[in-house]
């Protein structure tokens, strides 16, 4: 599944860290709220794992090559 989230003036993103306690332990989530009444939450067993995820995303944005050919919204990439 591919999810496209556009960061622009029509889709402001506000993030927060949330915590849930389940019978098998605690889970931490990085929740990204959008002004479209939608939210995306990435769950992990620890805050440290969430920090590693964010660091990995930052590394990708800073150092990964940019691909010119990408799928349009709603289409599969090749």
SS3 (DSSP) at 4: coil
CA dihedral 38, 42, 43, 45 (to 10 degrees): -150
Tokens standing for residue 69? 């050919």
pLDDT in tens, the chain (78 residues): 566 666 666 667 788 999 999 999 999 999 988 877 788 899 999 999 999 998 998 999 899 888 777 666 655 555
Instruction: Please tell me the predicted confidence (pLDDT) of residue 20.
Output: 95
What pLDDT, on a 0 to 100 scale, did the predictor assign at position 45?
A: 94
- Residue-level pLDDT at 71: 65
pLDDT at res. 14: 86
What would the two tokens of residue 53 be? 């995820």
How far does the chain reach from its first CA to its final CA, in angstroms? 13
């Amino acid at each position: 599944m591919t999810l496209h989230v556009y960061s622009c003036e029509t889709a402001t993103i506000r993030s927060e860290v949330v915590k849930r306690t389940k019978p098998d332990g605690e889970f931490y989530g990085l929740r990204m709220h959008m002004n479209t009444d939608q939210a995306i939450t990435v769950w992990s067993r620890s805050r440290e794992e969430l920090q590693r995820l964010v660091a990995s995303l930052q590394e990708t944005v800073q150092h990964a090559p940019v691909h010119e050919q990408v799928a349009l919204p709603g289409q599969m990439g090749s």
